Amino acid sequence: MYSIFLSYRRGDVEIEVEQIARMIRIWFGSGFGYVDRERIAGGADFVKTLQVEIERAAVVLLIIGR
C-alpha cells in the first residue's frame, strides 16, 4: 500500500514529479510514493491498476503543469 499517489500529465512535469517522489521517499520511506511508470508492469490493465492504487492511497497529490 502506498500512502501518497502522485498523479500528473506525462511530458509536462515529469522531472518535477521525480523530484517530489524522491523527497517523499527520503522523508517517509520507499513505500510512501506511487508513480505509475515505476510500478505498472507491462501488459497490466493500466486503468484498473490506477483505480486500485488510488483507492488504497491515503493522499492523492495532483500535480498540474502548463
**10 domain residue, yes or no:** yes
**45 domain residue, yes or no:** yes
Q: Which domain holds residue 45?
A: 6-63
**34 domain residue, yes or no:** yes
pLDDT at residue 40 is higher than 60: yes
**42 domain residue, yes or no:** yes
**47 domain residue, yes or no:** yes
Split into its structural domains, the chain has a count of 1
**1 domain residue, yes or no:** no
**15 domain residue, yes or no:** yes
CA atoms of 36 and 33, how far apart (whole Å): 10
Task: With beta carbons less than 8 A apart as the criterion, state whether 54 and 5 touch.
Answer: yes
CB within 8 Å of 8: residues ≥ 6 apart: 14, 16, 17, 62, 63, 64, 65
pLDDT, mean of residues 38-58: 82
Q: Is the pTM of this model over 0.85?
A: no
